[in-house]
Amino acid sequence: MPGGLCEVGPAGANCQNVPQMITITFDDAINNNNIDLYEEIFNRQRKNPNGCEIKATFFVSHKYTNYSSVQYMHQNGHEIAAHSITHNDDEGFWSEATVDDWAKEMAGCRLIVDKFANITDNSVVGLRAPYLRVGGNNQFTMMEEQAFLYDSSITAPLQNPPLWPYTMYFRMPHRCHGSLQNCPTRSHAVWEMVMNELDRREDPTVDEDLPGCAMVDSCSNILSGDQFYNFLTHNFYRHYDQNRAPLGLFFHAAWLKNNPEFLDAFLYWVDEILTDHPDVYFVTMTQVIQWIQNPTDTGGAKNFEPWKEKCAEAPRPPCLAPSMCKLATKELPGEALHLHTCVRCPNNYPWLNDPTGDGFI
């Protein structure tokens, strides 16, 4: 059962023995605008209690992505997941897209990532819908057909205790944000790495009506580093002192890049957590699923094999001379596009109908 050890006994009874998992995610293209930020956060000094470097999950959209940087992040043990080829800015598109649209966008994105970031271990298994516009049964049917393991797009309203990830075999354990999210109504063999809304209230005893926020950058009332630090601490203990559901911290790089005060507060908080709590692990989405499928207590967590993969990699570039490909595609007439990769340049810019770039449109 999701929740593992913690839900075996009376409510909350055994939670102190459950390692607290924290999932940091970043969405959208990985490129020169943000790779330095990722280097600063994942700087090889920040280690989980098992001695391995802290890890994160990157939901990568194709346009503007630098695949030699993706290869580098993957080589260092971070998880790469799919966030579409086009990131179509017509938000309604995602709510209404067909099974085939979803397959082209997400299986296509995975194919591009695998090929141009030279990922050969079948580790791209998750996806997140752009704008969190969940695509209902069509999205989840595609995920089963294309063998995706998990979605991380569905938001759960702020609640105590927060939710553990669940599978779509059964009814969703919370209400759907129906106006924005088209939640599936049928059973699907897919994990939902649910996005628990975070509590943004400065004073949880007073401000009663403030709704939660799923992406950290949508918590619009955070205005200073101190406020952000308090927000992180409050939400951490909301998980740690209750049922130890994984704490999800979902970012866009720009929010941290544009607000150095927030980045400082975040790094201070991460370092403090790692120093003060020998039972807290920053892990990837897939590592959370691996724990739920084979839970260990805090003692066992130190030697939990799936959390020791790519434990602490020696830094080295993915290739000495990346190809900088100047490309075009008939699907985007008139656009000159660039693709950085450690593998050979394709003939065309990869896109929906030609994800390999080989030109068979």
Minimum gap (Å) between residue 153 Cβ and Zn ion: 10
| CB nearer Zn ion, residue 63 or residue 277 | 63
The CA distance from 327 to 196, in Å, is 40
Minimum gap (Å) between residue 130 Cβ and Zn ion: 5
Return all residues near 303 (Cβ < 8 A) that are at least 6 apart.
50
| CB nearer Zn ion, residue 27 or residue 105 | 27
Q: Which stretches of the chain bind Zn ion, using CB under 5 A?
A: 27-28, 130
The CA distance from 275 to 190, in Å, is 35
Q: How far is CA 118 from each of CA 70, 112, 247, 348, 352, rounded to the nearest angstrom?
A: 9, 9, 30, 18, 19
| CB nearer Zn ion, residue 131 or residue 140 | 131
| CB nearer Zn ion, residue 53 or residue 105 | 105
Minimum gap (Å) between residue 257 Cβ and Zn ion: 15
Q: Which of 41, 20, 260 lies closest to 161, judged by CA? A: 20
The CA distance from 200 to 207, in Å, is 10
Minimum gap (Å) between residue 265 Cβ and Zn ion: 23
CB atoms within 10 A of CB 96: 13
Minimum gap (Å) between residue 254 Cβ and Zn ion: 11
Minimum gap (Å) between residue 166 Cβ and Zn ion: 23
Backbone angles phi, psi at 61, to 5 degrees: -95, 150
| CB nearer Zn ion, residue 7 or residue 27 | 27
| CB nearer Zn ion, residue 28 or residue 354 | 28
Backbone angles phi, psi at 266, to 5 degrees: -65, -50
The CA distance from 213 to 143, in Å, is 26
Minimum gap (Å) between residue 271 Cβ and Zn ion: 28
Which residue's C-beta sits nearest to Zn ion? 27
The CA distance from 341 to 66, in Å, is 7
* CB 127, CB 106: distance < 8 Å: yes
Minimum gap (Å) between residue 86 Cβ and Zn ion: 11
What stretches of 148-267 adopt beta strand conformation (E)?
150-151, 155-156, 166-167, 191-192, 195-196, 247-252
| CB nearer Zn ion, residue 153 or residue 329 | 153
* CB 78, CB 302: distance < 8 Å: no
Dihedral sign of CA atoms 68, 112, 167, 171 in order:
positive
| CB nearer Zn ion, residue 181 or residue 298 | 181
Count Cβ neighbours within 10 Å for each residue of 38-59 and write b for 16 or more, e otherwise.
Answer: beebbeeebebbeebbbbbbbb
